[in-house]
Amino acid sequence: MANKPFDYHQDFSSIDFRKHPELYQVGRGEQGVLLVEPYKSEILPHWRYKNAEAAEKSAAAIYEMFEAWRAEDDFVGMDMARKFIQMGYTRARRYANYKGGKKYTEDGSTHPRGNDPVKAAAAAVFKTWWDRIRADDDYLRRKREHQSKYG
């Protein structure tokens, strides 16, 4: 089943997605990653991408949460961990490619592309962990089941 468009119109401030997993939408990529509680607040303190060392510690901690949620049969937690790991990759790449992480200037033109090797190394760390989740048959099965059941 294809992902349906993410519904940003839900009242995210009043939903505990651990108690109401039926309201959770996988969406595309990182959609909703900073909206879904209580997972956001549990994962965010561990999320760092300053350099490869920080990224490794961060990704390992978040992946440990992913596995704990798997053991609890909590797909929403697993998917939120995946989103934070994916976001670690995309944010580190953005900072690797554009000084200060800003792709566009105030007038809408594109800043010159660079390559910060420290941020690129951090991105590579997150990419390894993200690839691990994307190849996880159990996670993929749970994702299909959730989407089939709840959209």
CB 42 within 8 A of CB 18: no
pLDDT at 5: 67
pLDDT at 7: 78
- pLDDT at position 3 over 80: no
pLDDT at 58: 98
Between CA 61 and CA 42 the distance in angstroms is 11
Mean pLDDT estimate for the chain: 93
Taking Cα atoms as reference points, which of 115, 75, 68, 111 lies closest to residue 95? 115
151 vs 19: which has the higher pLDDT? 19
Band the pLDDT of 47: cuts 50, 70, 90. Answer: very high
Position of tokens 């660079």?
A: 114
Q: Is 100 left (phi over 0), alpha (psi -120 to 50) or beta?
A: left
pLDDT at 83: 98
Domain boundaries of the chain, sorted by first residue: 44-101+110-150
What's the pLDDT tens digit per position in 79-115? Answer: 999 999 999 999 999 999 998 888 888 898 888 888 8
9 vs 3: which has the higher pLDDT? 9
Taking Cα atoms as reference points, which of 105, 93, 73 lies closest to residue 30? 93
pLDDT at 147: 94
